[in-house]
């Protein structure tokens, strides 16, 4: 909580805005109480700064409380410790494979490469288009054998 004197100083900054309650002491007291709800002087000042940034008329106590709450939550969210990102493999960025001239290979520099299944490597290295059936593969192999035997 902010002390009353500091909150009053921040609320006095609103004096130049339209509809500031110069004569109504109770209204100023409510604005000061709203500013006192801040957890620290920095939050109180930042909340008043955010109001003064684009305000034309004096805020209501509820608007001051909302600004204080928003500033507190904003600071709380930036103070949350983020888990440091793990060191990534410089070769494969820890995804397990390396692309070399259009061909995917296992990464041998990190443990993720050992987990990469061979069948997935085969699928990744197969050119796009219709895949021949097993019988078609055998026929192609036989034809290649015939062509090689003729030479």
Does one domain contain both 75 and 8?
yes
Can you give the pLDDT at residue 128? 62
Domain range for 15? 4-79
One domain for residues 58 and 117? no
Please identify every stretch of the chain with a pLDDT value under 70, giving residue numbers as ranges: 79-86, 94-95, 113-151
What's the confidence (pLDDT) of residue 47? 95
pLDDT at 108: 77
Q: Are residues 120 and 100 both part of a single domain? A: yes
Residue with structure tokens 């900054």?
A: 13
Residue 49: predicted pLDDT: 95
- In the prediction, which pLDDT does 149 show? 57
pTM: 0.53
Give the Cα separation of 43 and 101 in Å (integer).
56
**Which residues sit opposite 100 in a β-bridge?**
103
Question: Is 150 among the domain residues?
Answer: no
Report the alpha-carbon distance of residue 43 to residue 70 in Å, rounded: 10
Asked if 60 and 114 sit in the same domain, the reply is no
Confirm whether 69 is domain-assigned. yes
- 8 and 43 fall within a common domain: yes
């Amino acid at each position: 909580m902010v002390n009353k004197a500091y909150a009053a100083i921040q609320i006095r900054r609103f004096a130049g805005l339209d509809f500031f309650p110069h004569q109504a002491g109770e209204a100023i007291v409510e604005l000061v109480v709203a500013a006192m709800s801040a957890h620290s002087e920095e939050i109180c000042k930042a909340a008043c700064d955010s109001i003064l940034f684009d305000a034309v008329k004096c805020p209501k106590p509820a608007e001051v409380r909302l600004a204080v709450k928003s500033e507190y939550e904003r600071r709380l969210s930036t103070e949350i410790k983020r888990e440091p990102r793990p060191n990534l493999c410089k070769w494969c960025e820890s995804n397990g494979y390396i692309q070399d001239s259009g061909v995917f290979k296992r990464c041998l520099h990190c443990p993720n490469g050992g987990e990469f299944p061979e069948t997935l490597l085969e699928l990744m290295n197969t050119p796009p288009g219709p895949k021949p059936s097993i019988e078609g593969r055998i026929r192609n192999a036989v034809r290649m054998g015939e062509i090689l035997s003729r030479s």
